[in-house]
Amino acid sequence: MKYYSTNKNTPDVTLKEAVVKGLASDNGLFMPERIEKFSPSFFENIHKLSFNEIAFEVARKFFGEDVEESNLKEIVNSTLQFDCPVKQVANNTYSLELFHGPTLAFKDVGGRFMARLLNYFLAGNKKQVHVLVATSGDTGSAVANGFLGVEGIHVHVLYPKGKVSKIQESQFTTLGQNITALEVDGTFDDCQHLVKTAFLDAELNKKLLLTSANSINVARFLPQAFYYFNAYARLKEKGILQNKKLVVSVPSGNFGNLTAGLFAKEMGLPVEQFLAANNENDVVYNYLKTGNYTPRPSVETIANAMDVGAPSNFARILDLYNHSHEKISSVIKGYRYTDEQIRQTIKNVFTQTGYLCDPHGACGYMALQEFLAPDQVGIFLETAHPAKFTETVEAVVGKGNVPLPQKLAAFMKGTKQSIAMSKDFKSFKTYLSDLK
Ligand SMILES: *Cc1c(COP(=O)(O)O)cnc(C)c1O
């Protein structure tokens, strides 16, 4: 299948090119030229399939023409070594827990899938491939853990010194093997600048095979559709959807997760309504209300993975619906919440139901509470384990109420290994030039 750019100013590319390049050369985002629908009978029987079987059927619709069937199955199965279970939280309200992967956040699904797909496309390539990724925290850990141990690929994670949490830092500095962490004396923007400059450097690109693992990569973003289908199947299996319509609430920052849900809907998944739950970074919320899209610098909140002022996947949403504000604002309803509302919700949900939300999931939960009608069933995406935000969550529900999962404890015990790097390009170029 071919992929086109949302800016429509560059020729279409193959899946392999889209995955290796990440961003189109006209700075647009890649979109598949077709979205194939499932037949109604697929949905009638979907509850008889396992998560992995469903994911494979979905993957086949996107990647079936370009990836050998047995390889695709292998990529799907080795990506999904963990479950994304549905849990009841309140009457008609369910949580889709996306935090059972290695770094305890939903980005593991796309990170792992992309690593394996890239490995598939670059197999037989004699040259070592170098993945450069700048991170403000969570992306680095998802990409590093996704690529950990993948042969022929080395990942270099650039992160701003002193500006990521200890938990986040431990998730990409303690891995070793084919992962190197570079602690940059600067900001996240400096890290991103170093990466971008490296991609433009002719000398480096002559010597090395460099690629990015940006969150806008189609191989990271499309696989997120898998768990929407699975959530539907598991609710149907329990008989919960009889005579009820499904509402899905997505805590959103860059809107990649929600866009994958919209793709699922375009493929026929019976979702009545999507809710986009934001923190105080509300540019899409304002667009949905007014039709005016005005990106602006992000503000810091306690749901910091959604502190995005210019959501990159918004371009995909516009493209998907031919820039129609009327259509987009009917498919997606927007909500936004202050830090105070987020704290209050974490507390209320915990005291009333015993369920522990993280600050992002709490936004999703609130949106459902505001929207849901009695003839509907709501599901909100729990995008991270609450222990990833222990300080915030414990301050609300009390010390000792946020158990540290085994996986996180193991990261915290590991030894930090990182290379100090200045923010000027010369030293980064010297570092890269010494690689093979
Ligand atoms: C990345 C992230 C989000 C936002 O997801 P987008 O796809 O960028 O909208 C929400 N919650 C958590 C925990 C995240 O890490």
For the Cβ of 145 lying below 6 angstroms from any atom of ligand 1, the answer is: no
For the Cβ of 312 lying below 6 angstroms from any atom of ligand 1, the answer is: no
Q: Is the pLDDT of residue 379 over 90?
A: yes
Substitution candidate for ligand 1 out of 306, 365, 382 with most atoms within 8 A of CB:
306
What share of the chain has pLDDT > 70, as a percent? 100
- Determine the distance separating the centroid of ligand 1 and the alpha carbon of 41, expressed in angstroms: 32
Cβ(333)–Cβ(279) below 8 Å: no
Catalytic one among 21, 107, 265, 407? 107
Q: Distance between CA atoms of 224 and 316, rounded to whole angstroms?
A: 15
For the Cβ of 383 lying below 6 angstroms from any atom of ligand 1, the answer is: yes
| Run of H or E residues at 419 | strand 419-422
The pLDDT tens digits of the residues spanning 34-79 come to: 999 999 999 999 999 999 999 999 999 999 999 999 999 999 999 9
Q: Distance between CA atoms of 395 and 179, rounded to whole angstroms?
A: 34
Q: If you average pLDDT over residues 293-307, what whole number do you get?
A: 92
Q: Distance between CA atoms of 190 and 352, rounded to whole angstroms?
A: 44
Place of tokens 């990440």: 22
Please report which confidence band the pLDDT of residue 259 belongs to, taking 50, 70 and 90 as the band edges: very high
Closest ligand 1 atom to 251 CA: 10
**Nearest by Cα to 258 from 317, 210, 202:** 317
End-to-end CA distance of the chain: 33
**Nearest by Cα to 235 from 258, 260, 267, 269:** 269
**Nearest by Cα to 43 from 268, 218, 319:** 268
For each of the domains in the chain, give its residue range(s) and CATH number, in order of start: 83-105+221-406 (3.40.50.1100), 108-216+413-433 (3.40.50.1100)
Cβ(132)–Cβ(126) below 8 Å: no
Cβ(135)–Cβ(184) below 8 Å: no
The pLDDT tens digits of the residues spanning 323-375 come to: 999 999 999 999 999 999 999 999 999 999 999 999 999 999 999 999 999 99
Active site residue 399: no
Q: Is the pLDDT of residue 215 over 80?
A: no
pLDDT of residue 429: 97
The pLDDT tens digits of the residues spanning 106-117 come to: 999 999 999 999
For the Cβ of 146 lying below 6 angstroms from any atom of ligand 1, the answer is: no
Name the 3-class secondary structure at 412.
helix
